Amino acid sequence: MLDDENAPIHPLFAGAPSSTEFKKLRKRIVRETRDAIEKYGMIERGARWLVCLSGGKDSYTLLAVLHELKWRGLLPVDLLACNLDQGQPGFPSTVLPKFLEDMGVPHRIEYQDTYSVVKEKIPEGRTYCSLCSRLRRGNLYRIAREEGCSAVVLGHHRDDILETFFMNLFHGGRLATMPPKLVNEEGDLFVYRPLAFVAEADCERFARAMNYPIIPCDLCGSQEGLQRVQVKQILDGWEARSPGRRQIMFRALMNVRPSHLCDPSIFDFAALMRGAPAEGMPAPPGVPDLRG
């Protein structure tokens, strides 16, 4: 169905370039998004998703692809786009409402001045990201509940997930990242990242080719020396020297070998005996067996 070039498309794809290169890009992004949705069991038939739209390239890509899948009958959920205007000075507050109205996308625009809170609480020279994201997340959870949504859907892509893994490795002392699917701390909402398999470069090419009205983040995005920026530069260097390195590293996050790490809470090293292959040892009681 995705290969039927004569099939109708959602208005978000109207005016798409007709080049073979763009068609391949679109198909790849749609296929990878659909794969992530299916692999991580994101679909609850008849559910309602709050699709978070910041105005950046990633969230535009997310919005377009989800609506394309729904348009083609491949995503049986209701979609509500949501932009949280956080009160940043100079934020073009009319851009997203006009865009969503022109595209016929159901949406909610919420104003909450978290910018002033962040500027007040965080000393000059410190990074804003942690507090800013907590305040944003809390408001999005509230909005999801008010709108009867079962999931908050975010535009984090493969590269975001990799960068978070290395930030935790370098600065947090743990092996962890942003999973494609999780349940919030209160236990009443899913958090989905359907672009988990999609490369950032593809989001960039797609959003630019579609000429979506991209809005830059002038709060955290304007700060120099952020840990995430440093990690991105490291990954960029690795990718330049060895193309495809990012994809290999991402595959590693899906191919965990507990017996070849050092955490006794996920592998029972004390019970390991000679003559028994390491990968054949069970995980401790109550701990998921992550081998596969």
End-to-end CA distance of the chain: 31
Looking at residue 196, its amino acid is A
52 labeled binding residue: no
Is residue 82 a known part of a binding site? no
Return the SS3 of 174.
coil
Was 132 annotated as part of a binding site? yes
In whole angstroms, give the CA distance from residue 124 to residue 222: 13
Q: Do residues 138 and 186 lie in contact, with contact meaning Cβ atoms separated by under 8 Å?
A: no
Q: Tell how far CA 178 is from the center of its chain.
A: 8
Beta-bridged to residue 49, according to DSSP, are 79, 151
Q: What are phi and psi of 282, to 5 degrees?
A: -75, 155
Give the whole-angstrom CA distance, residue 138 versus residue 135: 5
Positions at the binding site: 129, 132, 220
Positions at the binding site for [4Fe-4S] cluster: 129, 132, 220
